[in-house]
Amino acid sequence: MAYQPMTLADLAGHLSRQVDERIRWKHVWEFFEEHRWAPVEKRSPLFRDEPPLIGDDQWDVLLAAMAEHLAAQLDLAPPEWSRARVLATPWFPSPLPSKRTEALVSAPAAFRKHGVYLSARDLEAA
Estimate to the nearest angstrom the gap between the alpha carbon of 71 and the chain centroid.
11
Residue 99 DSSP label: H
What's the pTM? 0.93
Domain boundaries, the chain: 8-125
Question: What is the largest distance, in Å, between two alpha-carbon atoms of the chain?
Answer: 46
Closest CA to 114 of 78, 88, 93: 88
- Coil, helix or strand at residue 91: strand
**What's the rounded mean pLDDT across residues 105-120?**
94
Kindly tell me the sign of the dihedral angle through the C-alpha atoms of 125, 14, 43, 120.
Answer: negative
pLDDT at 52 over 70: yes
- The per-residue pLDDT for 126 is 55
* pLDDT tens profile 9-40: 999 999 999 999 999 999 999 999 999 999 99
